Amino acid sequence: MFTVPRVSAALATVLIETFFYGIYLVLFFTSVYLLLTVKSRELRRGIPVWLSPIVCGGTVLFVAVTGHWILTMDRLFLAFVSFEGGANPQGFYGDFSQPTQITQSIFLLASLAIVDGLFVHRLWTVWAHNRWVMIFPSVTLVGLVVSTVGVWYDFSQFKPGDDVHDLANVWIIMDCACTVFTNIYCTVFIAWRLWRVNSIVGGRPEGGRTLMSVLVIIVESAALSAVWAVFFISAYAAQSNLRFLIDVTPPLVGALNMLIYVRVGLGWAHGPAPSSRRRPMALRFATTRSDVGDETIMDDYIPGKRPGDHV
């Protein structure tokens, strides 16, 4: 069995998480800039863009990812400076009942739930509020929330000397399963929907290229998330300390999520000017009701679109 010392895994986590957190910060502020300087000129049925589910969800995700990284750095100093004078970092990192450990785990699981929620919202938008399509991801999202509560409770009951390999086993497996199923389901259905739309607008260079570029990013982001989940499950099954690299998850999934919005924002920024002689075609999926703040994904993904343009 491949083993890594717990302290070594913790130090590696600090370095890797900080690296991905830096990438996440760049993507987050880039997406905010593009949203507020480009898309905010248009109102979404009278509601400012910063009140949309995407922006609100992204802001909450930023709080969760940043809070997790801050606690990672805080726990580093606690382990090597404060706890028993820094003489026993192994004992500190091995105590899962530490308040900082429990709070950090909540931030981690919250970031997963937020990213999955944004993914489900993306599916809801692309499929024009089709309730039948939303049944399965809604169940897996609820399962993720339930498993988050279960992990928090098991961590709070942990005592030094307990077998860490038995800690929250069922809840952690359930959490991973719900996340993987949500990603696969949403990716397949979004990809199929966009592929069908692309077959319609394929003759339009602006629409076809933009749709396919967004489709590629969505599929690649989901694939990377799935690979990371498989890595964690494999390390967890092997009882390797590499499973503690799970703390890299918040900035990683956050960066993958922001990458989609940055690509969309760049599509807005580089789209043809509204006053151009020939405007690109804009697609809008039909909906049966008008929800405040909702925009169909095709409106956002085809550059050069102006409010009220429909096909």
Query: What residue spans define the domains of the chain?
Result: 6-301
Token pair in block for residue 290: 């008008």
**Cβ proximity of 47 and 40 under 8 Å:** no
Predicted local distance difference test score (pLDDT) of residue 43: 44
* Number of other CB atoms surrounding residue 192 within 10 Å: 13
CA distances to 146, 177, 181 from 143, in Å: 5, 9, 11
What does pTM read for this prediction? Answer: 0.78
> Mean pLDDT throughout 66-79?
94
| Angstrom distance (rounded) from CA 117 to CA 184 | 14
Give tens-digit pLDDT for 270-311: 455 444 444 444 445 444 443 433 344 344 444 334 443 333
| Angstrom distance (rounded) from CA 66 to CA 262 | 19
pLDDT over 70 percentage in the chain: 71
Predicted local distance difference test score (pLDDT) of residue 275: 45
* Number of other CB atoms surrounding residue 190 within 10 Å: 22
Confidence of residue 16 (pLDDT cuts 50, 70, 90): very high
> Architecture of domain 6-301 in CATH?
Up-down Bundle (1.20)
Residue 47 pairs with which residues in a beta bridge?
A: 44
